[in-house]
A and B are shown apart, each in its own frame.
Chain A
């Protein structure tokens, strides 16, 4: 069964095929490299201008909306609602 490098180390450690010392050294290096590479990839692959808006202005849009929702209603609306009952439907 072919093994990908990423899977070799943990399984080797688990089965005791690699000494604790070398596992620590290798593991440290490997993990760090993998993590670095992974982070770079994430940075590259995340589209700056993709289908999803950037979080800051997307939440601004909701806040624009919510700020109006949370405003107290002008009195004119209470008057209008009161008048509705006397209107024929």
Chain B
């Protein structure tokens, strides 16, 4: 580019990038379960985002833009079999889901484990909409698919989680890993075509 951005642009880009790191960590943790791998993924995302900063349009959502980079990095790493949706029991067991007075003794760790058994595309859709607070439209842009596809993935993810929770059929760690891995393998072919895109 013959017209590099101004220093002020770089400063504000970096400020926005810094502000979004906690959200990237939360999204990554939800996707891949293990905090150390999730943070590796976030660091990889930050480097890629920094290198691609010319392509970020100021005024648009930094969170959405970096989430695209993160999910693409995740799917690429997943194809290389780097992640197997491992789950860090020690961290999540400490957190209880139900505050005092609520009837359901569901643990956050149970919920997280159930989440990790979902196929990655449904998991990420539910994470974006149900945890990250993105609209269906924003989630569709992040996942580079149709709004209807996102709605369907979120619906299936919710139904699967509800069924698991209501039936008390939340898998233990080892099973969760095996189930998730099978599901991942099934969906990798489907997602392979959209992996290489970077946000434009």
**A residues bordering B, Cβ < 8 Å?**
48-49, 51-54, 56-58, 60-71, 73-74, 76-77, 80-81, 84-85, 87, 89
**B residues bordering A, Cβ < 8 Å?**
4, 10, 14, 17-18, 21-23, 25-27, 29-30, 39, 42-43, 46-47, 50-51, 53-54, 95, 97-98, 102-104, 106, 108, 111-112, 115, 126-127, 130-133, 155, 158-159, 161-163, 165-166
Q: Is the CB of A68 within 8 A of B25?
A: yes
Q: How far is the CA of A71 from the CA of B25 in the complex (A)?
A: 9
Q: Is the CB of A53 within 8 A of B130?
A: yes
A57: B residues at CB distance < 8 A: 97, 104, 106, 111, 161-162, 165
A77: B residues at CB distance < 8 A: 21, 39, 42-43, 46
Q: Is the CB of A51 within 8 A of B97?
A: no
**Nearest CB on B from A62, distance (A):** 5
Q: Is the CB of A56 within 8 A of B98?
A: yes
**Nearest CB on B from A68, distance (A):** 4
B50: A residues at CB distance < 8 A: 84, 87, 89
**Nearest CB on A from B199, distance (A):** 16
A62: B residues at CB distance < 8 A: 130-131, 133
B30: A residues at CB distance < 8 A: 64-65, 68
Residue in chain B with minimal CB distance to A53: B158
Q: A80-B43, A89-B54 are in contact. Are A60 and B97 (CB under 8 A)?
A: yes
- 9 residue pairs of the A-B complex, CB under 8 angstroms, read A56-B104, A61-B131, A62-B131, A65-B30, A68-B26, A69-B26, A77-B43, A80-B43, A85-B14
B39: A residues at CB distance < 8 A: 74, 76-77
Q: Is the CB of A71 within 8 A of B22?
A: yes
Of B98, B130, B165, most buried by chain A (CB within 10 Å of CB) is: B130
**Nearest CB on B from A54, distance (A):** 7
Q: Is the CB of A51 within 8 A of B22?
A: no
Beyond known contacts A49-B162, A53-B158, A87-B51: 18 more, CB 8 A cutoff: A49-B159, A49-B166, A51-B155, A53-B130, A57-B97, A57-B104, A62-B131, A62-B133, A63-B95, A63-B97, A64-B112, A65-B30, A65-B131, A67-B108, A77-B46, A80-B46, A81-B18, A89-B10
Q: How far is the CA of A58 from the CA of B53 in the complex (A)?
A: 34
